[in-house]
Amino acid sequence: MRLRLFSPEEPGRGAAYGDISAQWLMNGPARAMSIIADDSGHLVSALRCYPETLVTRERFGAYVGATLRAALAERPQMCIERTAVIDIDRGRHGFVLTDSRGHRFRARTVVLALGNAIPADDFLPHELRESRRYFGDPWRTRIDELPAGDMLCIGSGLTAMDRVAAFRHTMQGGTAYTLARHGYLPAREAPEIRACRYSELGIDEDTPLSLFRTVRTAMSRRTAAGGDWREVAEALRNPSQRIWLGWTTAQRRRFLERLAALWGSLRYRVPPATDDAVIALRRAGRYVPLQGEIVAASESEHGIAIDYRRRGERHQITVASVVNCTGPNGDLHTNPNPLIRALLRRGLIRRDPLALGLDATSYGEAIDAEGLVDERLIAVGPMLRGILFESTAVPEIVEQARAIAIRIAREREGRVA
């Protein structure tokens, strides 16, 4: 069996772990971020760090690359092609892949591990998207690329917090703003906190609302008993995919509309060092969180004026730069990746009903345009958010990858036998 890995970027240097993320930290402790499924201490021993350390994302990317290179060195049947796949079609004996050089490859099974697409911007005014002051890729824009002066981040999640914290290094001063519809800011991470026992929490999983009510009660109880509400948030991580799978599409939609922003602020927490930097800037009057929705934008000689609406009232701020920090775009129909466009065109994949990613079985097998499951076209990671919801962080991805590897190996054993 041969395994061919395609990646135009250096492996380990996807959107989250590129070279601009040198000072940005992982949002989970090293003890939970091993990429070897059977060895949870692998990252801690590879980097010789403490289990509770939040390593920089740059260092984590280097660890992923080094681990992969070590695995390849021992296995001549595995190799990396440093190109993008731009098309996949079904052939007589499996799939035919075409890469950006025009080379073709055959494969019996294809795993789509395409990661996070840059944030959607089709909801933003045209004048903003066309402006040279607008930066659509928050993960590959260096702080020194931004024009000097005030900065607005659209969104107030972890990416926005990273950008605000990095703003303290700008020499020219200025104020950082975040603007979000909901106005929640991510809670502070406490790396030493561990999950409590889920079964003792009395969580009612039936509907998004019953879940929300019982989680809130469990968090209050935990805090009142001298514990930490984060223990409850952590305990929800394991059962979350099962809970999501048990809800109807209408219930999932209700969760997204009413509760996802609040849940996100409790679940995806900001590293203490980043939080400290944000707090310091806020105290100094250099960080201002705003709530509202952008309705118009216009360029002026002083910058770009952004009009936003909050509770029926219109406000305006003028800034030197605007960074889109609204989170990965899950909607396949607006995803610019040529491979996704080709797969959609050929009808090999389709969008999930909530447009969070790709439609698939809970195992990741793609469902095609006709509704048929293709067990040889398997997705892993963020593309499965519509199906599993919790499908973006390292521990969940490692589990999915392990399940796929075991299945492919068993199938092969069966064929050989």
Ligand X SMILES: Cc1cc2nc3c(=O)[nH]c(=O)nc-3n(C[C@H](O)[C@H](O)[C@H](O)COP(=O)(O)OP(=O)(O)OC[C@H]3O[C@@H](n4cnc5c(N)ncnc54)[C@H](O)[C@@H]3O)c2cc1C
What lies within 8 Å, CB to CB, of 312 at 6+ separation is none
Q: Which run of H or of E encompasses 376?
A: strand 373-379
* Number of residues binding to ligand X, judged by CB under 6 A: 27
Near ligand X by CB under 6 A: residue from 294, 319, 379, 394: 394
How far is the C-alpha of 7 from the C-alpha of 13, rounded, in Å?
Answer: 10
Near ligand X by CB under 6 A: residue from 35, 46, 63, 115: 115
User: Applying CB under 6 A, which part among 174-182, 249-257, 392-400, 402-410 lies near ligand X?
Assistant: 392-400
How many Cα atoms occupy the beta-carbon half-sphere of 144 within 13 Å? Answer: 3
In angstroms, what is the minimal distance from the CB of 24 to ligand X? 7
Reduce the DSSP state of residue 223 to 3 states and report it. helix
| Residues 269 and 187: beta-carbon distance below 8 Å | yes
Near ligand X by CB under 6 A: residue from 68, 113, 348, 404: 113
Examine residue 223 and tell whether it contacts ligand X (CB under 6 A): no
User: Applying CB under 6 A, which part among 9-17, 72-80, 126-134, 229-237 lies near ligand X?
Assistant: 9-17
Examine residue 393 and tell whether it contacts ligand X (CB under 6 A): yes
Near ligand X by CB under 6 A: residue from 53, 156, 159, 265: 159
| Residues 12 and 68: beta-carbon distance below 8 Å | yes
* DSSP assignment letter at 18: S
Residue closer to ligand X, measured from CB, 7 or 109: 7
Residue closer to ligand X, measured from CB, 244 or 308: 244
Examine residue 114 and tell whether it contacts ligand X (CB under 6 A): yes
DSSP H helical ranges for 236-308: 240-246, 249-254, 260-267, 272-283
Instruction: Output the six-digit token pair for 339.
Output: 């491979």
Binding string to ligand X for residues 10 to 39, with x set by CB under 6 A, is what?
----xxx---------xxx-----------
Q: Give backbone dihedrals phi and psi of 303, rounded to 5 degrees, phi first.
A: 150, -150
Closest CA to 206 of 251, 249, 238: 251
In angstroms, what is the minimal distance from the CB of 217 to ligand X? 28
In angstroms, what is the minimal distance from the CB of 398 to ligand X? 9
Cβ-closest position to ligand X? 14
Near ligand X by CB under 6 A: residue from 66, 80, 84, 273: 84
| Residues 213 and 220: beta-carbon distance below 8 Å | no
In angstroms, what is the minimal distance from the CB of 413 to ligand X? 27
How far is the C-alpha of 54 from the C-alpha of 276, rounded, in Å?
Answer: 14
Sign of the Cα torsion 166, 169, 170, 173 reads positive
Near ligand X by CB under 6 A: residue from 382, 384, 386, 404: 382
Residue closer to ligand X, measured from CB, 72 or 84: 84
In angstroms, what is the minimal distance from the CB of 390 to ligand X? 10
Residue closer to ligand X, measured from CB, 116 or 326: 116
Near ligand X by CB under 6 A: residue from 165, 218, 306, 397: 397
Near ligand X by CB under 6 A: residue from 34, 116, 329, 400: 116
Closest CA to 350 of 374, 331, 367: 367
Examine residue 381 and tell whether it contacts ligand X (CB under 6 A): yes
Edge-to-edge strand order for the sheet containing 176-180?
134-135, 321-324, 151-154, 176-180, 287-291
**Chain residues in the site for ligand X (CB under 6 A):** 6-9, 14-16, 26-28, 84-85, 113-116, 139, 159, 328, 337, 339, 381-382, 392-394, 397
